[in-house]
Amino acid sequence: MTDWTEQTQTARTWFETLRDRICAEFESIEREAGSEAAFQYDSWSREEEGNADPGGGTRGLMKGKVFEKVGVNVSTVRGNFAPEFAASINGASPENPGFTATGISLVAHMANPHVPAVHMNTRFLTTQAAWFGGGADLNPPLPYEEDTEEFHARFRAACAAHNPTYYDRFKKWADDYFYIPHRGVHRGVGGIFYDHLECDDEAGFERNLAFTKDVGEAFLDIYPKLVRRRMESEFTEADKAQQLEWRGRYAEFNLVYDRGTLFGLKTGGNIDAILMSLPPEATWS
């Protein structure tokens, strides 16, 4: 296939629907904690010289009692990569730099250090190729084995419904990807990470979209349970200090190694949306 317009719109609709459901659930958690915090939405438009329809997106941001800072972004953009960047992208080249990208990206930093921070994103991209990517990973400042096991079990089940090799492959990919070489530590306790689930035809698109939907459903199922389990836990100054130190590591990874950050900056994305992943407060000792 060469025209993925209809499929891009289908994926976009799913990502926006998932965004609405996640934000509603997170706001419900705030209500349970006695907070009236709600998401604030800011739309942005991408600019590209000579491109009459470069697309854009919406950044959703909430700062509450439980969610110290949570961002949920959706975007759909189209245009041409810069020649030097095109050479590094699947299916693109300086001679064929055109692309479309639609996706959802979420990062939650929590007020209580016993509640794990989390990252989730899924996306559909087209160049001369078309593919899905994404995943979710848990980032607790104070890890609990129970939480880690349940998070992984939920994504293991989502993977098993589609391919018996997916979980082991995508867990390893997450372990390898979310690693901070200069610190010699992982960013969190992992999850799954996948990319280049190629769509050679309509059937391939439907198959990979179904898996990507199940990744979103798995996240929406398991993460709120973990938040509710820990959000009223007592914590000490030492616990908070450990959370802030850990956030520094998180910021280092996102600014130095994260491919999504680089992709957004290289394709003219909204700076505030791209950097919403950074924690509201962090320390370096």
Residue 119 among the catalytic residues: yes
Interaxial angle between packed helices 145-160 and 166-177, expressed in degrees from 0 to 180 and rounded to the nearest 10: 130
- Alpha carbon distance 139, 80 (integer Å): 34
Per the CB < 8 A criterion, the answer to whether 77 and 56 are in contact is yes
- Give the number of C-alpha atoms closer than 13 A to the C-alpha of residue 19, restricted to the C-beta side: 29
- Which helix (H) or strand (E) segment holds residue 72: the answer is strand 67-80
CB atoms within 10 A of CB 24: 10
Residues forming beta bridges with residue 122, ordered by sequence position: 104, 134
Q: Which of 109, 114, 119, 186 is catalytic?
A: 119
- Alpha carbon distance 71, 50 (integer Å): 31
Give the residue numbers annotated as catalytic, written as ranges.
119
